[in-house]
Chains A and B, each alone.
Chain A
Amino acid sequence: MNKFVFVDCKTVDEALGQMSDGAIVKAGGIDLLDLMKDGIVTPPKLVNIRNISSLQGITAGKDGLHLGPLSTLSEIAAHPEIQKNYTALANAAGHAATPQVRNMATLGGNIMQRPRCWYFRSSEFDCKKKNGASDDCHAHTGENQYHAIMNNETCAMVHPSSTAVPLLAMNAQVELTSKRGKRTVAMSEFYVPPEKSLINETVVQPGELITGVFVPVPEPGTRSAYQKYGEKESFDWPLADAGVVLVMDGTHCRKAWIVLGVAAPTPIRSTAAEAVLTGKTIDEATARAAASAAMKDATPLSQNGFKTQLFQTAIYRTVLLAAGQMQPDPSAIG
């Protein structure tokens, strides 16, 4: 790891004042230390926000769920109100990484993780996502079994955030604060696909800090679930995952949000799958039809064709889980 100056901040204003050239914000530090140890980022200064009390805490109110960005994944997973009314978010937080990581990793850091791509994460490889010096996407011509199967023409990275998937499905909003003030960005606008920017993965601008995440209160009849699949059940990066939010009337589905995490460089909604479910009775046949629709436009690479099958399974089983028609899958991670 490179040498750096460390500034421990106690307030948001103090942190904003420290976020000048080259400084990187550190919250839980899990992804950041990973990147620094591999020499992918070499900041001269870390702005430690982990001790800013105003960024901590979870409040479940009548309007919805207010999540301090420093809430750890463990806190989110264990929160009774989140387990009950925002089930998919509790699932996603509770099944991320390892118990120790969940005790340390924060929600803000989780949604701000850098790309999950072994070419990006090795300092041995240049790529256009890192500084644009190379036009190649090594994954296109190399080892791509874990890479994206959709929207993967420019860059085949996947975004590893589990919590981003239910947050997108639940129409969450992210509050960003800078010296210029605050703004709120919908989760649907939060991530920037590689076609739009090779360098920025999110809309967060230099000098901006995530100061809150808000999830609106679910409509009556809402049920949700999140499941992910990999090669192991103990700590593994997902190869397929699905976040499902259904507004149900008995077995009748009034509205559906289906979000796929590691299918593409950013978490994406599958409107095709949602359309199959909306207005229908949820059963295994409709769930499978939705899953199949979601994968219709998949463009797998040379080695990851299996991910389309895995995604179909993830989607149909998670739809049935959300609808209360299936138990949590023992095949899933976590």
Chain B
Amino acid sequence: MADSPKTTFSRRGFLKGAGVTAATTVIESANALARETKDALHSDRAVGPGSVPVKLHINGHEYSVAIEPRYTLAETLRDNLGLTGTKVVCDRGSCSACTVWIDKTPALACMTLAIDVVGRQITTIEGLSHGDTMHQVQAAFVKHDAMQCGFCTPGMVMSCAALLDRNPNPKLADVKHAVSGNLCRCGTYPKVFAATLDVAQQRRQTAGLVALVTEREA
């Protein structure tokens, strides 16, 4: 009888605590959690590990919510705030389905701790439309059928809308670059490209008209 078929690999959880990390090197000790929890009491800024009340700014609204520091922004949006437009697909930053804007910059809600965005402005897919009025990019996605199952769509829209905000004249390669992290399993990419380029053209035409009118009025 054995817990595992080979002695060369461990049971799940056996290795917890081998401790070199992304920004510094530390060695974890067995009682660390208890000690640190106590230490935390002496620091103004230390919170957790249990629930902490925070205020989050999402789509122009302030939400009060109790979260543990370990909750990701994606989990908090979906499970605690009912904002389920943001999808979780890989949960590891590989697919960009959970793309939201943090202070207008596309970021991964699954790789962001909710507690880390207190004080930042979060925009989710729900914040792009106004009531039933779609954002221009959303409308173009519908027009071009840039979706099939639709599970990647919120992330795609967030990536494409952000691209157009910073680059009003994207080429096909720019659109591909902007969504190079967004996976779509149904294979809807060609229409995502078409929809995004279409919005850019619509905006150019609008801008052109505005310029024309301004010129004539001047």
Q: Give the B-binding residues of A (Cβ under 8 A).
A: 1-9, 14, 18-35, 37, 39-46, 48-50, 74, 97-101, 103-104, 108-109, 112-114, 123-126, 130-131, 133-134, 136, 138, 199-202, 204-210, 233-235, 334
Contacts and interface: CB of A to CB of B under 8 A. Distances in A.
B181 A97 contact: yes
Interface in B138-193: 159, 176-178, 180-182
A27 B180 CA distance: 24
A104 B28 contact: no
Contact of B12 (A3, A14, A45, A124): A124
Contacts of A20: 36, 39
A323 B25 CA distance: 39
Contact of B25 (A46, A50, A205): A205
B68 A100 contact: no
A206 B9 contact: no
B123 to A, nearest CB: 14
Interface string B1-44: 00000011110111111111111111111001101110110010
Interface residues of B, number: 62
A4 B99 CA distance: 25
Nearest to B40: A5
B105 A103 contact: yes
Interface in B39-95: 39-40, 43, 45-50, 68-70, 72, 91-94
Interface stretch (B110-118, B129-137, B209-217): B110-118
Nearest to A119: B9
Given A3-B49, A6-B113, A48-B116, A26 B23 contact: yes
B33 A44 contact: yes
B197 interface: no
Contacts of B92: 34, 37
Nearest to B15: A130
Contacts of A14: 45
B93 A30 contact: yes
A8 B36 contact: no
A334 B33 CA distance: 41
